[in-house]
């Protein structure tokens, strides 16, 4: 999901890294060991 947004909007590697860090934080708060697509979609589309 992040890769699609990264490619489509031409984000820099630094921005991509920030997205990953925030997504990892959301997964940690949710108690999940994996980044869930649902949470990632909400965050990515709010930023766009």
What are the average pLDDT values for consecutive 10-residue runs of the chain, which has 48 residues?
Answer: 75 83 84 77 59
Number of domains in the chain: 1
List of residues 6+ apart from 43 with CB closer than 8 A: 19, 22, 23, 26
The token pair at 35 is: 């980044």
Burial 7-37 (b: 16+ CB within 10 A, else e): eeeebeeeeeeebeebbeebbeeeeeeebee
The pLDDT, as a whole number, for residue 46 is 57
Least Cα distance to 35 among 47, 45, 26 occurs for: 26
The pLDDT, as a whole number, for residue 48 is 47
The pLDDT, as a whole number, for residue 2 is 67
- Structural domain that includes position 27: 2-47
């Amino acid at each position: 999901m992040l890769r699609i947004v990264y490619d489509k909007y031409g984000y820099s590697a630094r921005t991509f890294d920030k997205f990953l860090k925030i997504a990892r934080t959301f997964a940690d708060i949710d108690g999940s060991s994996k980044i869930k697509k649902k949470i990632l979609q909400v965050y990515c589309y709010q930023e766009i």
